[in-house]
Amino acid sequence: MGISTSTIKELREKTGVGIMDCKAALLESDGDIGKAIDYLRKKGIATAKKRGSRATSQGQVQSYIHAGGKIGVLVEVNCETDFTGKTEDFSAFVKDIAMQVAASNPVAIDRESVPEDVLEKEKEIYASQAKASGKPEKIIEKIVEGKLKKFFSEACLLEQPFVKNPDITVQDLLNELIAKTGENIVVSRFVRYQLGESDA
Spell out the domain ranges in the chain. 5-51, 58-110+156-194, 115-154
* Cβ count within 10 A of residue 188: 12
Q: Is the pLDDT of residue 182 over 70?
A: yes
Rounded to whole angstroms, how far apart are CA atoms 99 and 79?
Answer: 19
Q: Which CATH number fits domain 115-154: 1.10.8, 1.10.286, 1.20.120, 1.10.1740?
A: 1.10.286
* Beta sheet of 71-79, edge-to-edge order: 58-66, 71-79, 186-194
CATH number of the structural domain 58-110+156-194? 3.30.479.20
Domains 5-51 and 115-154 equal at CATH topology level: no
Mean pLDDT score, 30-53: 71
The architecture of the domain spanning 5-51 is: Orthogonal Bundle (1.10)
- Give the span between the Cα atoms of 174 and 62, in whole angstroms: 16
Helix (H, G, I), strand (E, B) or coil at 60: strand
* 87-99 mean pLDDT: 96
Flag the least confident range among 94-103, 136-145, 150-159. Answer: 136-145
pLDDT score at 109: 95
Whether the pLDDT of residue 200 is over 50: the answer is no
Contacts of 38 (CB under 8 A, 6+ apart): 29
